Amino acid sequence: MRGPHNIWRLIRTGATFERTGALKIILDATDTPRPLQIALRTLVWPFKWLGIKGDESRPPITRAITALGPAYIKFGQILSTRPDVVGDELSQQLQILQDKLPPFPRDVAISVIETELGCKLDDVFSEFSEPVAAASIAQVHKAVKRETGEAVAVKVLRPNIGRAFRKDVDAFYFAAWFIQRFLPSSRRLRPQDVVAHFEGVVLGELDLRLESSSAAEFYANTQGDEGFYVPKVDWALSSRSVMTLEWLEGITASNIPAISAAGHDRAKLGRIVLQMFLSHALRDGFFHADMHQGNLKIMPNGDVAALDFGIMGVLDAYTRRVYAEIIFGFIRKDYQRIAEVHFEAGYVPADQDVDEFARALRAVGEPIFGMDATQISMGRVMAYLLEVTERFGMATRTELILLQRTMVVVEGVARSLDPKINIWEVSQPVVESYIKENIGPKALMRDLGRTAIVLSRFGPKLPQIAETILMAQTRSSEPQPSRISLRQSALLVIGGGLAAGLGAAVALILS
């Protein structure tokens, strides 16, 4: 598939980027040498007339991408979450990419629903609207369930979108190979790895059952979160190409005049948005990674509702603890501890100087803390932090990049609701609560208990393990450094037995 037949598709893509002025921006962002820039643009220029003109009111990058269609729009969206790949400037341009396309006909959506659900639309819904929103992969209709009269949002995949995406992804791979082969400066950006990442994300979004699963998990995690709401999935009316959620009335978070006119407390809303994001990231390790204004609604009762669960972030328990200690260290201006956390986590190579790293962190933090409290940005601190750690040899960590990018977006939403919000003051209770529960003696005992429970599962195998070790020692005619001594064997068995007993006791207590 990834062969010369993609050349025509790529020629038109290149022509569109040249015609819209986006090609020069991309070449500059990738630090392409000037002679090579001239050569590439000279090569593309004769085909410029083949490029799509696009909407001239948009910036060059978004103009080109939206003109090229759904796969390119989604690719741009995903790249906007990877400033480590495309750079901060290009990432910011991609963040404003409008994911709005002409909808496909209502009758086509009905056909998809009837095929997927195996029933007539009128048997399920008493009302089914024209599209209320259309994006690159799917569109949404408002419907009313015939049996209960409940209003629901029905998300339907675009027909043949999977086939169209596979064709474009095939061309992306070909382009990535070409760029990586003939543009050495691009190799640090790992073009083929970027396309593989894109392919994985899109394949997940092309199966709405996976998004439904994310929505259901997020719903379960947030049930006790005051002021925050996630719509419930209707699994009986969901499938690979159809996803049904409860319909939520409310004001889009970007409509500040309407929010004010409705009498909502904007300062409170700003706090909810920021604190909920931090709670989900730290407490659950599962957070909404696309929390821009278009995916948030202010409900009539003042709750903040989240929509669109196609991009979710995941953090393991250890990373959450590291992240919390870093934030808490900045809150307390404890730069030495922040440095030690980075070394303990293995983020910074051990051959670096921890004291020098702490001094570099102070150079990041102090100027920011010299600002007025309302101007301090946690997202900016994390961005500067990643910049410093890169200088000290820290490898790129995708999960932290996504977290940092989402933090910047969430801060933007919070400040749009309340320009005077003090980011650190609002964040501190959430971070302190997490640290109290997850770092210290109480957390250590809980971790040891869980470890003991895991070890106890090997209890029935301990006699067999002991016999195997002793038999191996008996067969050995000479002592060998590589073998385990009898003393070590005994300690292993006794230790395992104690762990099994402790695990059983802990399990009994916890039950």
Residues 309, 288 contacting (CB under 8 angstroms): yes
Cα(387)–Cα(237) distance, integer angstroms: 46
Q: What are the two backbone dihedrals, phi and then psi, of residue 179, each rounded to the nearest 5 degrees?
A: -65, -45
Environment class of 356 (CB within 10 Å of its CB; exposed 0-12, middle 13-18, buried 19+): exposed
The identity of residue 149, as a single letter, is G
Regarding beta strands 304-306 and 228-229, do their DSSP bridges make them parallel or antiparallel, or are they unpaired? Answer: parallel
| 3-state secondary structure (DSSP) of residue 129 | strand
Catalytic residues: 290
| 3-state secondary structure (DSSP) of residue 353 | coil
- Helix ranges (H only) for 392-458 are 398-417, 423-438, 441-456
Rg, Å, the chain Cα set: 27
Cα(72)–Cα(249) distance, integer angstroms: 31
Environment class of 348 (CB within 10 Å of its CB; exposed 0-12, middle 13-18, buried 19+): buried
Residues 154, 143 contacting (CB under 8 angstroms): yes
**Token code pair at residue 50:** 């083949």
* Residue 242 DSSP one-character state: E
Regarding beta strands 151-157 and 242-246, do their DSSP bridges make them parallel or antiparallel, or are they unpaired? Answer: antiparallel
Please list the residues that pair with 155 across neighbouring strands: 140, 243
Angle at 432 between CA 278 and CA 451, to 5 degrees: 85
Environment class of 53 (CB within 10 Å of its CB; exposed 0-12, middle 13-18, buried 19+): exposed
Q: Which long-range contacts (CB under 8 A, 24 or more apart) does 87-93 make?
A: 87/29, 88/383, 89/29, 90/25, 90/26, 90/29, 90/61, 91/405, 93/25, 93/59, 93/61, 93/62
* 111 C-beta neighbours (distance < 10 Å), count: 14
The identity of residue 359, as a single letter, is R
Residues 206, 229 contacting (CB under 8 angstroms): no
| 3-state secondary structure (DSSP) of residue 218 | helix
Name, in order, each residue with C-beta under 8 angstroms of 51's C-beta and a sequence gap of 6 or more: 12, 14, 15, 16, 17, 18, 19, 20
Cα(248)–Cα(231) distance, integer angstroms: 7
Residues 128, 143 contacting (CB under 8 angstroms): yes
Query: Tens of pLDDT along the chain (511 residues)?
Result: 455 666 777 777 888 888 888 888 777 766 667 776 777 788 777 877 778 888 777 788 888 888 887 777 877 776 765 665 666 667 666 766 655 667 899 999 999 999 999 999 999 999 999 999 888 788 999 999 999 999 999 999 998 888 878 778 887 787 777 777 766 656 655 677 777 777 777 777 788 999 999 999 999 999 999 999 999 999 999 999 999 999 999 999 989 999 999 999 999 999 999 999 999 999 999 999 888 888 899 999 999 999 999 888 888 888 888 888 887 887 788 889 888 988 888 888 888 889 998 998 888 777 766 555 556 666 666 666 667 766 777 665 666 667 777 887 888 888 889 988 888 788 888 888 888 787 766 666 766 776 777 666 766 776 777 777 777 767 665 555 545 455 555 545 445 544 445 444 444 444 4
Residues 140, 133 contacting (CB under 8 angstroms): yes
Cα(307)–Cα(140) distance, integer angstroms: 12
Sequence ranges of the domains in the chain: 4-100+162-204, 251-439, 443-510
Please list the residues that pair with 8 across neighbouring strands: none
Regarding beta strands 125-134 and 138-145, do their DSSP bridges make them parallel or antiparallel, or are they unpaired? Answer: antiparallel
The identity of residue 156, as a single letter, is V
